[in-house]
Amino acid sequence: MDYLDHLEAEAIYILREVAGQFENPALLFSGGKDSITLVHLAKKAFRPGKFPFPLVHIDTGHNFPETIEFRDWLVEQIGERLIVGLVQESIDQGKAVEQKGKNASRNALQTVTLLDTIEKYGFDACIGGARRDEEKARAKERIFSVRDEFGQWDPKRQRPELWNIFNGKIHKGENVRVFPISNWTELDVWNYIKRERIALPSIYFSHHREVVLRNGQWMATAPFLNIDGEDIVEYKSVRFRTVGDMTCTAAVDSEATELDDIIAEIKASTVSERGARMDDKVSEAAMEERKKQGYF
């Protein structure tokens, strides 16, 4: 079997296990390429039926406008339900406190809103687009990853995961994070997007925009980014390799306007995808610590 067919069949199998094993699942949709790929896989898993889950977007309020526009277009196109959890609401309610300073980001605050949204709607399983090749803590995470009542991941108490038999049994209040594309690499995702002609937000492709230099990386300028006279601001030809919120996602210099260019660029790259994520650079165990708190 061709490797993309194999990965696709495995992901579809996992999505159907979620549908079969849980009462009230959700698909966490960020507007990034991995969750867009998940939506495409869900169509293959459940059409001509409806998705047995809504899409859930945790919106920091600091997203790229192109991502939000794309999200709304996609939801309209597939005719499925979208639930949006707003980080701004968590801040207004006093549940989350905005970071201060020049590099303030709402990335970490998403966890609060995510856990609140899970509780509010009573989701027992949340499907996510995380991949094991992204980061070393993720390399250890199960495909069905159980979170306790507080949304926490305990890496030392993970269930053994054998063959393709997934144990989705949980106690009330717990939930499971499910990662159907765990075994895909960044390159696999791009090759699949190309093969399946999956539409993506425009920021994945090279474009001209105003960027500001932060900690050696170029960030897109935005009203909520604290820019002062000392900052170096330039107008450059860039694209985004990974799409999170604008405060934690750096651009890469690129002339890649087609999928083939992007694939060639990634093959030649000597830096990993998460290298452009400020949120992972905080410490050696940044991802592990965030996941323990309930992060995606």
Q: How far is the CB of 139 from other proteins (least distance, A)?
A: 5
Order of strands across the sheet that contains 25-28: 82-86, 55-59, 25-28, 125-127, 175-178, 144-147
Query: Which one, 100 or 171, has the nearer CB to other proteins?
Result: 171
Alpha helix ranges (H) inside 22-84 = 33-46, 65-78
Query: Which one, 19 or 212, has the nearer CB to other proteins?
Result: 19
Read off the tokens for 136: 């070393």
Bridge partners, 145 (sequence order): 177
Query: Which one, 8 or 265, has the nearer CB to other proteins?
Result: 8
Q: How far is the CB of 68 from other proteins (least distance, A)?
A: 28
Backbone angles phi, psi at 176, to 5 degrees: -120, 135
Q: How far is the CB of 132 from other proteins (least distance, A)?
A: 5
Residue numbers of the site for other proteins (CB under 8 A)? 1-3, 5-10, 12-13, 16-17, 19-20, 43-50, 52, 132-133, 136-140, 155-156, 158-165, 167, 169-171, 182-183, 185, 187-188, 269-272, 274-275, 284-285, 288
Query: Which one, 58 or 143, has the nearer CB to other proteins?
Result: 143
Q: How far is the CB of 9 from other proteins (least distance, A)?
A: 4
Query: Which one, 164 or 257, has the nearer CB to other proteins?
Result: 164
Q: How far is the CB of 150 from other proteins (least distance, A)?
A: 17
Please tell me the distance from the alpha carbon of residue 89 to that of residue 60, in angstroms, as a whole number: 10
Nearest alpha carbon to residue 121 among 61, 78, 175 = 175
Residues 117/93, Cβ–Cβ less than 8 Å: no
Residues 7/38, Cβ–Cβ less than 8 Å: no
Query: Which one, 71 or 274, has the nearer CB to other proteins?
Result: 274
Alpha helix ranges (H) inside the chain = 3-21, 33-46, 65-78, 87-92, 110-121, 186-196, 259-268, 286-293
Query: Which one, 31 or 166, has the nearer CB to other proteins?
Result: 166
Nearest alpha carbon to residue 33 among 220, 228, 249, 177 = 249
Q: How far is the CB of 164 from other proteins (least distance, A)?
A: 8
Read off the tokens for 84: 């949006």
Q: How far is the CB of 135 from other proteins (least distance, A)?
A: 8
